[in-house]
Amino acid sequence: MDQAFQAQAGTLESCDALVTVIRSSADSGVAVAVESSVAGRFTDEIRRQVLAVADTLSVTDIAVRVIDRGALNFVLQARVETALRRLLDAEQEAAQ
C-alpha cells in the first residue's frame, strides 16, 4: 500500500472525543495513544474500548489517537467505529 490513509471522528468539545486513525505497517497490530483530562483514571478503559471496537470490525495494523474530553463509553465507541469505517471506506475507494 503506497498511500497512507487517515480518518477521524468527533470533536474537542466537552463530553466528546476526537479519534484519529491511520493505517500503519503490516503486522503492527493496534497502537493506541490517549490524551485525556481524566487520563489517570480512565486511560486503560479508553484503550480497552478502542481495542474492542477494532476487534469487532476486524481491523488491525492501525494507530489510534484519542483526545478525550470526558466522553462516555457509548460516545467513545461510536467515534472509534465511525473513524475506522471512514478509514476502511477510503481504502476501498482507492482500491477501485
Mean per-residue pLDDT, 86-90: 96
Label residues 52-88 b or e (16+ Cβ within 10 Å = b).
ebbeeeebeebbbbbbbbebeeebbbbbbbbbbebbb
Gap between the Cα atoms of 28 and 5, Å rounded: 15
- pLDDT, one tens digit per residue, over 70-82 is 999 999 999 999 9
pLDDT of 2 above 60: no
pTM above the 0.85 mark? yes
Average pLDDT over residues 57-86: 96
Rounded-to-integer distance, Cα 73 and Cα 58, Å:
20
* Continuous segment of H or E residues that includes residue 95: helix 73-95
pLDDT over 70 (residue 3): no
Q: Which domains does the chain have, with CATH numbers?
A: 6-95 (3.30.230.10)
State yes or no: pLDDT of 1 exceeds 50: no
Write out pLDDT tens, residues 11-30.
999 999 999 999 988 888 99
